[in-house]
Structure 1
Amino acid sequence: MSADTDADSSAPMRADARRNREQILRAAREVFADRGPDAPLDEIARRAGVGIATLYRRFPRRADLHRGVAVEVLTALGEAAHRAAAEEHDPYLALRRFMHAALDLKIGSVMPSLLGRFTVDDILDGVPGDAVDPVEALLVRAQAQGRIRLDVVLGDITLMIVRLSRPLPGGGRFSADDALAHRQLDVYIDGLRPTGSPRPTTELGGPAVDAVAFKRFREQMIGEAYDAQADDD
């Protein structure tokens, strides 16, 4: 099924219907990342800025929405890889650009929450381009140019993105979680460079969580977890 057709029809959608569909999928991705795949559909509709009837018209079953989110995330991942390869002359910078774009897709939060709800073929059949091949090609080129150490393999790229895109414990209570993940990704990317490479010049963004800030976050996280357990008891 094309991304530009209704769940129950092969007819192309109007521009407004396509926009509604994109808003619903984007909102569902965020809600599933925060609250899991069984989150209330009215919350997704609210975040998308549409009525619940519009959501059901686009996705009559929850399974349709699950599949739609998975296809949308993997499609965007492939597009990010191809765009980085096409627009960045330096393969190292292209890989860095792709990894930051992939981190924004929250793939490590969204896709694991949907596991067991469809098969690989169910999803990949709807994805126009796989990210694996262009990312692998960028890695090989960067290594050939001496920009990335030779013992790095594809999984060191993709699985680190999965790890970093998972939220910190405590749900969304740490408001700078996304920015911190991008900062930590830059630290990791610098670590992909070969021994003896020039010192990295990338300026670290995001929050610098020093010892004082970490202790404050730790206290908040543990305290809220204790309160939640006490309420359950």
Structure 2
Amino acid sequence: MPKHDADETQLRRGDRLERANALVQTLAILGAGAWAVYTFIYEARIKPALEPPAVSVTTSLVRAGERDRHVAIRSTVTRRNVGQTGVRVLGLVYNVTGVRVRFGETAGAALSAMGPAPDRTTTARAYAFDGPGEAILRESRLFAGATEAGSEPSDLNPGESVSRDLIVYADRDRFDFVRFEVGLVYTKADDPAVRLRFETAPDGTLALRPRVDCGTEPQTCERLKRTDFATEFSLW
């Protein structure tokens, strides 16, 4: 083969290699860009949409004042969206119960005689709780979506929180401490809302229940999420 033809063949072969290399680099750049776009969309939209809703509840209790035998307690309840998806709060219940304590060796002996319950054990020396307690306050609220009546919405974006103050008055001659219990029911913000109703538990506390029959509509009840929080405040 003449030298001139060999040089042209080598040049053509080099051009093809350069074009193939350029094509590979272009495809790699396009692939990296597509992956970056997918990752961004996944992290920003797809992943949060797959995450379950999550709301935390905290209660701060402080003594706000006293008059005669009554103690004023300021309760600050904060609900915060700690998940990655928007949340629609459907309902809130607030139960405040006053509890007496019996002291003395007989109280401790009575407690020991009862023995442990199947799901819990409580042992205290020389004192016992005098019954389940007495209701001081029962309060409940349904937000938009949980009731047919007009009601304000209570949506929380990720990281958003809402606080509410409430004053409770307790008789320290009747109670030794006060138990505060807060319950929230919520769904994802983009899920269909679920109608709720109030229900009084055997111990007198208020609870939230779906209006539908969970046995026949389990998919509706599965959308509901709950967060419960309880704390206690001494009146001494």
Question: Shorter-chain TM-score: which interval?
Answer: under 0.3
Structure that is richer in helix per residue: 1
Larger radius of gyration: 2
TM value normalised by structure 2: 0.21
Structure that is richer in strand per residue: 2
TM value normalised by structure 1: 0.22
More contact order relative to length (CA 8 Å, sep ≥ 6):
2
